[in-house]
A and B are shown apart, each in its own frame.
Chain A
């Protein structure tokens, strides 16, 4: 299998995680971010809004599907395969505490299944379970200081990336200044939340990332 393709889809190398702070189904921040995404630079967009109820999540997913995004942009949602099916999203992202791809794949054979991994053991589990890509972090201190635990560092990112043939995204405090270090450790691409929320610089940020992550 080609390294950059899973389930017949080219996996973009820039990964935008939603803020987790949307107040309602309007998701104004996420909609603004997505409407600004420059077409030549496809992304993975992860809807991660645990505070919304299922009805609101579904509305968000449908609103995003209605946007004119780059054809190669991939929309995934945290955990909720049911919402992904209802809105015809491209895949779901599973935290370590979530169900496994092996359990869910039979329900949606063509979807992409991503897994968060924080250790080599979790990496093995995700691989055996049939994950399509991995999200590893936090690599650096994160501005949002989310409950991901202490930074895991570039060294473990390197060990993870070199232990698998799956695409590994580096998450946590990634900036255009340090992204090259992640790529040097074997990361497939970079993932971020906070830096993409500075919408006035979003296009510039994505362009800078794109130049670093594109082989």
Chain B
């Protein structure tokens, strides 16, 4: 896993994932999550191979949302699993120790369960209100983040409504990093937005 605190940028369906990833990597993101729910298998594979090349260049990690098959085939570093995806324990049996498995959790309970299932990191959220995904539940807030970060021994990434304004605060509440979608993908300049987030989580740099 990357040196903490780190930034994970998740691709958005409205932009070309490859160019978005390239901007994010230039800006300092240590992890890219390729997430696209409607793309065909061959399209996802092609994107994954292209992004993986950039990730190697920038010494960053690539994880694929949900599609463990694409992750394995493309040589990505791992997979990111939501609660509606394959359980982490099942995925771990398939890929062994060599792949990173991230899991989305929206409570301390889910986060602990994912760690016990063999997850390498948790995406915990949504912390704040967010426009990126259809969310029916209310935000879980930074107190839940503080609890989960204190209990878990694997990195906890804060996700959901994270911006350069609040990223520093969630790190101070124990997050090992932040994961963002719209804060980068919908910014006028994804590169500038990424740099802003990097400054917010690493104020001394």
Contacts and interface: CB of A to CB of B under 8 A. Distances in A.
Nearest to A85: B94
Interface in A69-117: 79-83, 85-86, 94-95, 97-100, 103-104, 107
B84 interface: yes
B86 A104 contact: no
Nearest to A62: B90
Contacts of A26: none
| Interface size bracket, B side | 20 to 34
B133 interface: no
Interface of A: 53-56, 58, 79-83, 85-86, 94-95, 97-100, 103-104, 107
Nearest to A83: B86
A111 to B, nearest CB: 11
A79 B41 contact: yes
A98 B40 CA distance: 6
Given A55-B86, A97-B41, A103-B45, A86 B73 contact: no
Contact of B70 (A56, A85, A86, A99): A99
15 contacts: A54-B66, A55-B86, A58-B86, A82-B69, A86-B90, A86-B91, A94-B41, A95-B40, A95-B41, A97-B40, A97-B43, A98-B40, A98-B42, A103-B45, A107-B72
B85 interface: yes
Interface in B124-180: none
B87 interface: yes
Interface string B77-110: 0000001111100110110000000000000000
- 8 tightest A-B contacts by CB? A97-B40, A82-B68, A98-B41, A81-B69, A53-B84, A82-B69, A54-B85, A99-B41
Contacts of A55: 83-87
A167 B7 CA distance: 49
Given A82-B69, A98-B40, 10 more contacts: A54-B86, A58-B87, A81-B69, A81-B72, A86-B86, A99-B41, A99-B45, A99-B70, A103-B73, A107-B73
B67 interface: yes
B43 to A, nearest CB: 7
A6 to B, nearest CB: 20
Contacts of B45: 99, 103
A104 B69 contact: yes
A147 B1 CA distance: 43
Contacts of B83: 55
